[in-house]
Chains A and B, each alone.
Chain A
Amino acid sequence: MLAGHKAIDVDVHPVVPGTAALLPYLDEFWRDQVIERGINTLHSQNYPPNAPLTVREDWKKASTVADLQQQLLDPYGLDMAIVTPMLGVQMVFNADMARAFTRALNDWTRAEWLDKDARLRASIVLPMHDPEHAVEEIERLAPDRRFVQAMILVMGETPAGKRQHWKVYEACIRHGLPLAIHAGSSFRHPVTSVGWPSWYLEQYFASSQGFQSTLGSLITEGVLSKYPELKIVLLESGVSWLMPFLYRLQKTWKGVRFEIPWVDRPPIQLVRDQVRLSCQPFDAPPDVVPRVVEMLGSDDMLMWASDWPHWQYDGDEAIPPGMPAALMPKLLRGNALATYSRLRAPAFVKE
């Protein structure tokens, strides 16, 4: 299905075996802290290690580049794939510790993944508790052009649009990095605005509320208006929630825009110009997928992702069934190239 498209996968998740794997990338103080204090895991409830959504049955062993090559890169004939490790570094409360783990995680990604397959690109995972730390991490890694975007979780401590985060976005722009926002929480708040739900199913579901709130924040606080060159990439967000949310926001904006006068274009247009989404999961049955795509009103917004090794699809139905065939060239490749300037040029590693 993907053959011949030289497809680009924008959402792949190498599994971090545990904090032990990060030890070589931590400085001596933090390495000893890990050992002396017994910090042996940072896995988050976002993806409980054994839960079916976290790993597809036939992708259970997904911890090395060889696994990725055998399960995904080779059989799907991928041209490039962007890896984003999901480890709970965003949950750590001590900002310095969070910075240390995040740096180590990014270095681990570089050494264990980027250096081992030339098709791979990666996200800079951001330590967002201190925007200075996040900027510093971007500055540190951006010279390596295999890092093609910066990544935050959709549920953070304060809504993403708030001004204290803007210096991070300015750093992204300086280096031509889209800001990726991935499903998941730092657990500073319950995963719903009405408190903690009982079931993991509800918790997983709740990311799509996070995406609505976060997108609303980026629009209303003026991030999209102020930084028209900033691209936002929503990963594992689902797709079908988007337009219903915007239909209401835009309707309200017509009357209440005086509150946010910097939003001087219709929100739907801002989103079409600057926001991109991965297509797994899509969250619509095959017969309505074409209609949902039509509502988007743009061919430029969706990018293909496998979400490997998360279980978003069965067998090799890698593209959400029902997706219009005419969309394939853009979905599988063109939109990713248009979104990520760093994918357009050969990666140049600055020593």
Chain B
Amino acid sequence: MNVIQPIRGKSKPPAATLGLVDVDIHPRMKKPTDLNPWLSKRWQEYLATYGIRARHGFTGGQPPFPKAQPLACRRDAWPPTGGTPASDIDFLRFQLLDQYGVDMGVLNPLQPSGQGDNNNEFSAAMAHAVNEWQLAEWTRKDSRLRASVVVPYDDGPASAKEINLRAGDPNFCQVLMMSRTAEPCGKSRYWPIYEAAEAAGLPVAFHAFGYSGWAMTNGGWPSFYIEEVSEHAVSAQNQLASLVVEGVFERFPKLKVVLIECGFAWVPSVAWRLDQSWKRLRSEVPHLRRKPSEYIRDHVWVSTQPMEDPERPEHILDIMEWIGWDKILFASDYPHWDFDDPLLALSGAISAEKRRDIYGGNAIKLYGL
């Protein structure tokens, strides 16, 4: 079969001298019943009968917009053994971990994880099961992999309970939320998550996606998948603003936030706009003791993929400089279609030392790997 041939020999990016850490890998279940060992009879039956019901109208497929490819995956990532992309650990090793010499890979399970479900109790049961599944099927089978604590984020206390359960387990390296929550994520209903994460010393990652239940733009629903792709960055901007303006970083000064697959070129503009507006409106938000941009600079990390593509490559250097070279983490997004090849993702215009940090150094510091 043609597709499984590596396109080139195994190789690690030469600049990754501190190690190659991929902060965005999406493991999938082979079949919907894979979580059953960790679901009670009640929730097994519920899942089989009523299924996942997120805050949109579709029951299946990849809502709300059909993606460009099946499951939004690389066409060559379907394992020769059958099953869906990234459901077979051997093929994932072959196509990603071994192929590029990944030293550490962070797992971010997406649907059917039950995150953002209309039913909070079910969401909590699913999150717990997904976490057990990550341990049993992934981290125990390959020591290079780290799990994320999947939380039923629209239920703050239930999320905190799940985080507390995982605190201290070195298999987990972060808490995982989706970037579209039912309300802006800085609101107090989400604070138990940040409190527990801070106490456990775990960064909180927001991965692009999820269904808030509101229109995907603040002017209504768009038409196209290409708009949905752009809107991931747009909604993440409001989330970042919410975290800052609600004073989450004042309240939880050790909290670290990672924006995964949200793009990053927009981060400086958001920081500047918030600073500018805050100068006029600070009487409204006396709980902020610093400029918004300072909270962002200190508390926020971004992942590389999908990297915005300026017409002139040097402009990406400006943008990275404005964000902070120590805040940028390499991500491949395997097995999705917009996967970034570790060997080619980072422009040669970035110095070898900085590439070293993006490939691994920054993530090692952030996660304490």
Are A and B in contact, CB atoms below 8 Å, in the complex? yes
Chain A residues in the interface with B (C-beta under 8 A) = 51-53, 154-162, 185, 188-202, 204-206, 208-210, 212-214, 216-217, 220-221, 238, 240-241, 243-245, 247-253, 255-260, 268, 281, 283-285, 288, 291, 295, 297, 311
Name which of A202, A257, A311 has the most chain B CB atoms within 10 A of its CB: A202
Contact, CB under 8 Å: A154 / B227 = no
Known: A208-B269, A244-B266, A248-B308. 8 other contacts (CB 8 A): A156-B219, A159-B221, A193-B215, A194-B239, A241-B266, A244-B263, A245-B266, A311-B280
Within 8 Å of chain A (Cβ to Cβ): is B9? no
For residues 165 through 211 of chain B, which have their beta carbon under 8 Å from a beta carbon of chain A? 180-187
- 26 A-B pairs (CB sep. < 8 Å): A52-B280, A157-B219, A189-B218, A189-B219, A190-B218, A191-B218, A193-B217, A193-B231, A195-B183, A198-B186, A199-B245, A199-B284, A204-B277, A205-B238, A205-B273, A209-B234, A220-B224, A238-B273, A240-B268, A243-B265, A247-B265, A247-B308, A248-B306, A252-B306, A259-B226, A283-B269
Nearest residue in A to B213 (C-beta to C-beta)? A195
Within 8 Å of chain A (Cβ to Cβ): is B58? no
Nearest residue in A to B275 (C-beta to C-beta)? A285
Instruction: Tell which of A162, A221, A253, A285 touches B272, judged by Cβ atoms closer than 8 Å.
Output: A285
Within 8 Å of chain A (Cβ to Cβ): is B223? yes
Contact, CB under 8 Å: A253 / B226 = yes
Chain A residues, CB < 8 A from B269 = 208, 238, 240-241, 244, 283-284
Nearest residue in B to A248 (C-beta to C-beta)? B308
Within the assembled complex, what's the spacing in Å between the Cα atoms of A192 and B236? 10
Contact, CB under 8 Å: A248 / B230 = yes
Chain B residues in the interface with A (C-beta under 8 A) = 68, 180-187, 212-227, 229-231, 233-235, 237-239, 241-242, 245-246, 263, 265-266, 268-270, 272-278, 280-281, 283-285, 306, 308-311, 315, 318-319, 322, 337
Question: 7 tightest A-B contacts by CB?
Answer: A244-B265, A213-B217, A247-B308, A192-B238, A240-B269, A251-B309, A283-B273
Instruction: Tell which of B185, B229, B275 touches A252, judged by Cβ atoms closer than 8 Å.
Output: B229
Chain B residues, CB < 8 A from A260 = 224, 226
Chain B residues, CB < 8 A from A52 = 280-281, 283
Chain A residues, CB < 8 A from B226 = 220, 249, 252-253, 256-257, 259-260
Within the assembled complex, what's the spacing in Å between the Cα atoms of A158 and B215? 10
Within the assembled complex, what's the spacing in Å between the Cα atoms of A295 and B318? 10
Chain B residues, CB < 8 A from A288 = 268, 272, 318, 322
Minimum distance in angstroms from B346 CB to a CB of chain A: 15
Contact, CB under 8 Å: A197 / B242 = yes
Contact, CB under 8 Å: A201 / B277 = yes
Chain A residues, CB < 8 A from B306 = 248, 251-252
Q: Given known contacts A220-B224, A240-B273, A252-B229, is B217 in contact with A159 (CB within 8 Å)?
A: yes
Contact, CB under 8 Å: A297 / B233 = no
Within the assembled complex, what's the spacing in Å between the Cα atoms of A339 and B253? 48
Q: Given known contacts A189-B214, A243-B310, A249-B226, is B219 in contact with A213 (CB within 8 Å)?
A: yes
Nearest residue in A to B307 (C-beta to C-beta)? A251
Q: Given known contacts A217-B227, A248-B308, A251-B309, is B217 in contact with A190 (CB within 8 Å)?
A: no
Contact, CB under 8 Å: A216 / B238 = no
Contact, CB under 8 Å: B281 / A201 = yes
Within the assembled complex, what's the spacing in Å between the Cα atoms of A302 and B10? 49
Chain A residues, CB < 8 A from B68 = 255-256, 258-259
Contact, CB under 8 Å: A193 / B212 = yes
Chain A residues, CB < 8 A from B212 = 193-195
Within the assembled complex, what's the spacing in Å between the Cα atoms of A178 and B281? 32
Contact, CB under 8 Å: A281 / B273 = yes
Contact, CB under 8 Å: A198 / B246 = yes
Chain A residues, CB < 8 A from B215 = 189, 193
Within the assembled complex, what's the spacing in Å between the Cα atoms of A20 and B83? 68
Q: Given known contacts A193-B215, A197-B184, A206-B238, is B280 in contact with A53 (CB within 8 Å)?
A: yes
Within the assembled complex, what's the spacing in Å between the Cα atoms of A259 and B226? 8
Contact, CB under 8 Å: B273 / A221 = no
Chain B residues, CB < 8 A from A249 = 226, 230
Contact, CB under 8 Å: A193 / B222 = no
Minimum distance in angstroms from A205 CB to a CB of chain B: 5
Contact, CB under 8 Å: A192 / B218 = yes
Within the assembled complex, what's the spacing in Å between the Cα atoms of A123 and B162? 55
Chain B residues, CB < 8 A from A311 = 280
Within the assembled complex, what's the spacing in Å between the Cα atoms of A90 and B225? 28
Q: Given known contacts A193-B212, A250-B309, is B219 in contact with A158 (CB within 8 Å)?
A: yes
Chain A residues, CB < 8 A from B187 = 198
Q: Given known contacts A155-B219, A241-B269, is B245 in contact with A259 (CB within 8 Å)?
A: no
Instruction: Tell which of A198, A201, A212, A283 touches B234, judged by Cβ atoms closer than 8 Å.
Output: A212
Contact, CB under 8 Å: A210 / B217 = yes
Within the assembled complex, what's the spacing in Å between the Cα atoms of A225 and B341? 33
Instruction: Tell which of B238, B263, B273, B275 touches A248, judged by Cβ atoms closer than 8 Å.
Output: B263
Chain B residues, CB < 8 A from A195 = 181-184, 212-214
Chain A residues, CB < 8 A from B219 = 154-160, 185, 188-189, 210, 213-214, 217
